[in-house]
Amino acid sequence: MFILICTAFGVIGLLMILLSPHIRKYAAGGVCHSKARLDGKTVLITGANTGIGKETAVDLASRGARVILACRDVEKGEMAAMEIRTRVGGAKVEVRELDLADISSIRTFAQKFLTEVNHLHVLINNAGVMMCPYMKTADGFEMQFGVNHLGHFLLTYLLIGLLKRSAPSRIVVISSLAHYFGWIRFHDLMSQGSYNSGLAYCQSKLANILFTRELAKRLRGSNVTVNSVHPGSVRSELVRHSTIMSLMFTVFGMFLKTPQEGAQTSIYCAVAEELDSFSGKHFSDCTPAFVAPQGRSEDTQRKLWDTSCELLGIEWD
C-alpha cells in the first residue's frame, strides 16, 4: 500500500511538472491589452506597497500617471516607490501615510490630499486585510469590515468631490470571489456575538460589491464611474493570518497568479477605453463577472449604505 501511494504521488508530481507550462498559462488569467496613456493624470492607490497594489502602480506609472501610494507603513511605501522608480524610468510616484483602520488618519490624509492635489482621475481602493484574528480598529469596528469596507467608504466620501471635479474619472474597488459566501449580518456587523475570520472576510468583500453598485447609482450623470474587481487567487501577503491558507497557497502555488497577473483586472478597469460608460459592474480576468444574488439586492445596498453612514457619522445622499 505504501509503495502504491508513493507511486501515485510520483505520477501526479511528474504530470504536474510536464503540464506546468499549460497550468501556469491558464492560471495567469486575463491580460489588459489597453495601450491607453495617463499623462497628466493622477492616480491614488491604497495599500500599494506590496502585491497587486504595487504592480498596479508600476503599470500606471509606466503609462505616465502621477501615482500616489497611500500606505499605513510609510517606510515600506518608500521602499516600494524606490522599486517602482527603478523599474519605470521617470516614474512620478510618491508616498502618503494612510491607516484605513483609523478614522482620524483617513480624515487627516484626505484633508492634506485635498489641499495639495488639484486633480484625482483614478482612485483604486486596493488595501485589505484577510482572515485575521479578531481585532478592532481604532474606532471599535471589527478589523476586516472596518478596513475593507468602512475605511474605503469614508475615503471615497471625502474624495468624491475632487473626483467629480476631475471627471472623467474612475473608482476601482477590489472585492473577491469570496463575496459569494458572504452575508451582511446587520444584527451583528462587528461579529461581537460570534467571530469566524473566513466569514467576516466574505462579509467585507460582499460589502465592497454592494457599495460599488449603490455608489454607481448615486453617481449617474457625474461622469465618474465605479466598478469592482475580483483579482483572482494571487500569491501575496494577504493570507499571512491563516496558516491553512498559507499552506494551501504553498502547495498549490503553480495554480496561483503572480501579483503582476493579479493586477491585470484592476489596471483594465482603470484604463480601458471601452469602459468609459461602464459603472456598477463587476470584473474578473478583464471581463464582466457574475455577482452573487445577495450582492444584487437593492434593499441590502441601501441599508448597508445608510448603516455605513451612521457608523461613520457622515451624511452622503
Catalytic residues: 201
Cα dihedral across residues 62, 49, 95, 268: positive or negative: positive
Could you give the residue ranges of the DSSP H alpha helices within the chain?
2-28, 51-62, 74-87, 103-116, 143-144, 152-165, 197-218, 243-251, 259-262, 264-271, 298-312
Helical packing angle, 298-312 and 197-218, nearest 10°: 100
C-alpha cell at 18: 510536464
Cβ atoms within 10 Å, residue 209: 25
Helix (H) or strand (E) holding 119: none
Distance of CA 73 to the CA centre of its chain: 17
Task: Give the span between the Cα atoms of 309 and 150, in whole angstroms.
Answer: 9
C-alpha cell at 159: 474624495
C-alpha cell at 247: 499552506
Q: What's 122's DSSP letter?
A: E
Q: What's 236's DSSP letter?
A: S
Helix (H) or strand (E) holding 40: none
